[in-house]
Amino acid sequence: MVMVKGVETRGGQHCETTALGVLLRHQGIELSEPMLFGLGSGLSFVYWDGRNMDFPFLGGRVKPFELTRNLARNLGLELVVRETASARKGWENVAAAVDAGSPVGLQLDSYHLDYFTDKVHFGGHVVALYGYDEHDAHLVDTEQLGGAVTTGLAGLALARAARGPMTARHRSFTLTAPAGPPEVRDRIVPAVTACADAFLDPPIANLGHRGIRKAGTLVPRWLERADDPRRDLPRAALLMEKAGTGGALFRNLYRDFLAECGQWLDSEPLRTGHALYAEAAALWTDVAALIARAGESGDGQCLVRAGAVLSDLARIEREAMEALRRLRA
């Protein structure tokens, strides 16, 4: 068995920030999960539907791995990413990092991991691998999934080779801090304003505050959109609140990030953004509850009310990001 020594196997709320925390703590960099999420400009919104989809998807973060790239750039970290079409070469890349004493991040399809009981394909899942033997890999995943977990190498190979939405080609990555621990205070404003700019000026109407407004017009029709409303609507609500996001489509994490930033910056725009995201987080939980109730009861008025709350959320989050875009050091 090969194991990286000294790895702290603490699981977080979200898969990518959990893996990033493992890799950075091993470098001697201790940042909270909300801080990792915020410094990675991770907050976003997408309303995603298509002909090949069984049901629409509401997403509250940037696309998989973009958070990692943002965080590395913002903190001045060296990010080494390896991708290959070869399963053999992909495993050699992982084993080489672990053999050299470094945990390694993996992007994969969670469907094939042994410890996942909810067999749904998700190609944007991220874990940290810190050990292996001839049969199993030792991973760190979210707290909800057990933190320190094991999975068979055969299933791991399938997960890394999967193709489909949000998947990557046997992607593995490592992070190092060549200049030592970064000065967090200096990195807050660029991360916050970049996130605000992207949210306020999305390229298409499905993203950012425009996407939330669009969701407000489309969610009231979800009883007709669903093949099985009693299954599809509660599942959508569950994904919003429980699927490794910390609830409220990542608004709780961003609220806590902004609160933590207040330890370094005395700023009215920051306080405004924090207050509005605290309000938004509670309202997103209300939306999820209304969607679940509509599926369980068949009452379309629950979706009408959810649409009205979403319209309010589009305004609240736009105002929050407009304030945060004015943030200065």
- Averaged over 288-312, what is the pLDDT? 98
pLDDT in tens, 220-235: 999 999 999 999 999 9
The confidence score (pLDDT) of residue 206 equals: 96
Q: Is the pLDDT of residue 150 over 90?
A: yes
Q: Tokens 């509850």 label which residue?
A: 289
Q: How confident is the model at residue 244 (pLDDT cuts 50, 70, 90)?
A: low
Question: Measured between alpha carbons, how far is 210 from 141 in angstroms, rounded to an integer?
Answer: 32
Domain coordinates in residue numbering, the chain = 2-30+78-176, 185-325
Q: How confident is the model at residue 242 (pLDDT cuts 50, 70, 90)?
A: confident
Q: Residue 149 — φ and ψ, nearest 5°? A: -135, 165
- Averaged over 172-183, what is the pLDDT? 88
The residues that bridge with 104 in the sheet, in sequence order, are 129
- Averaged over 214-218, what is the pLDDT? 98
Q: How confident is the model at residue 121 (pLDDT cuts 50, 70, 90)?
A: confident
The confidence score (pLDDT) of residue 154 equals: 97
Q: In this prediction, what percent of the chain has a pLDDT beyond 70? A: 99
- Averaged over 166-172, what is the pLDDT? 95
Q: How confident is the model at residue 117 (pLDDT cuts 50, 70, 90)?
A: confident
CATH of domain 2-30+78-176: 3.90.70
Question: Measured between alpha carbons, how far is 238 from 204 in angstroms, rounded to an integer?
Answer: 26
pLDDT in tens, 16-31: 999 999 999 999 999 9
The confidence score (pLDDT) of residue 182 equals: 81
The confidence score (pLDDT) of residue 273 equals: 98
Q: Which of 60-64, 119-123, 223-227, 311-315 has the lowest mean pLDDT?
A: 119-123
Other beta carbons within 10 Å of 86: 12
Q: Is the pLDDT of residue 138 over 60?
A: yes
